[in-house]
Structure 1
């Protein structure tokens, strides 16, 4: 109920007026049942604009930092994520990664839409980067379709490091569902996981028209931090 109220009566109308977000391909999202929305990740606002333009509620596995921010901004972000059913996850790796996988599987088992960013983190420069294979494991274990999504120009609304958003029009392009049922039972095969992940990211690239680099975004961010 909170999700419905926020989307349709509080935050949604304001965002529609200010940013005039457009969507193409909304019909490609299944009307019912569990499915993964696999999106590029250009900005924090991706997790706001994507659910806004999708008729069904979307649950994201959000990094735990979003739930622990301080001050008014931190409180607002925490309120938004909790009110819209977003789930905090620990991205430190190891057991935390396994716990995140199980959390995502639980969402899909309940027949809900799960939003995932295969790159694992925001792009530092609006390019598309190599996907993490966790999404492939989840797809094969849950046996659900994957809907590729491209967020358009959200990095211009809220560039990394900016405190306040800029008023720009943004878009969402939703592709046709991908079926990986032919790989059922092969979630333990590393080569299969990489192939599935690469196909998902390639589909996103076709929609977004981004330049692709076959390296992890986190690696690029580390290099940038060292150079700075």
Structure 2
């Protein structure tokens, strides 16, 4: 109940006013059955606008920090992320991360729609970064189709690092579903997990028009590569999924 109140009454109208969202390719999202929405990640607002765009309720794999806050604010955030269907991932513990993927697999087995950010964290520089292979492993293990989603303009409405929200223009662009049935039985093979993930990242690059850099976003955030570093990058024009 709370999810729908947030979507249609408490938050949705305000989000629509701020971002004037344009939705493209929504017909690529199945109305029922298991599927994975794999999105680029520019701002906290991504999850809000993606949920606003899709008619179905989305279960997100969220970082564990959202659930571990203290005090009144921490308790509120933990409640908010829980009632909106988020699944925590402890990225410092491989076993816990695997448990989260197992939970996602169970949800897909129940016919749910899962939202994943393959980069693992928000982009620190506006570029699209190397995807983590948990996405590939989940897709191959479950046989669920993957729908790439490009979020555009959310970092203008909700600038990273700022508590202020601004007026802007958000586009949520859904690509065509990708079927990885050809890899059935090969789940957990590192080469296959990487190939599946990279295929999705390539589609995201085309949908978003972002420059792609083959470095993890977390590495850039940690100072391993600066935003202006040279490296292997690719950029292609955005495409419309409408």
Which bin holds the TM-score, normalised by the shorter protein? over 0.9
| Residues 106-115 or 62-71, more deviating | 62-71
Alignment of 1:56-205 (within 5 A): 56-70=56-70, 74=74, 76-205=76-205
Q: Is the 8 A contact 2:18 2:157 kept in 1?
A: no
2:191 match: secondary structure: helix
Deviation at 1:160, TM superposition (A): 2.3
Q: RMSD of the alignment, in Å?
A: 1.9
Note the alpha carbon deviations across 1:99-137, whole angstroms, 9 max, x for none: 121111111111010000011111001100111011001
Deviating above 4 A after TM superposition, structure 1's stretches of 4 or more consecutive aligned residues are: 70-76, 224-227
| Residues 113-122 or 73-82, more deviating | 73-82
The answer for the alignment partner of 2:8 in structure 1 is 8
2:66 match: secondary structure: helix
Structure 1's unaligned 5+ residue stretches are none
Structure 2's unaligned 5+ residue stretches are 228-242
Distance 1:225 1:181, change over 3 A: closer
Q: Is the 8 A contact 2:219 2:225 kept in 1?
A: no
Deviation at 1:179, TM superposition (A): 0.4
Q: Is residue 2:205 matched to residue 1:213?
A: no
Note the alpha carbon deviations across 1:32-57, whole angstroms, 9 max, x for none: 10100000000111111101110110
Q: Larger % of helix: which? A: 1
Deviation at 1:140, TM superposition (A): 0.6
* TM-score under structure 1 length normalisation: 0.93
Distance 1:216 1:225, change over 3 A: closer
* TM-score under structure 2 length normalisation: 0.88
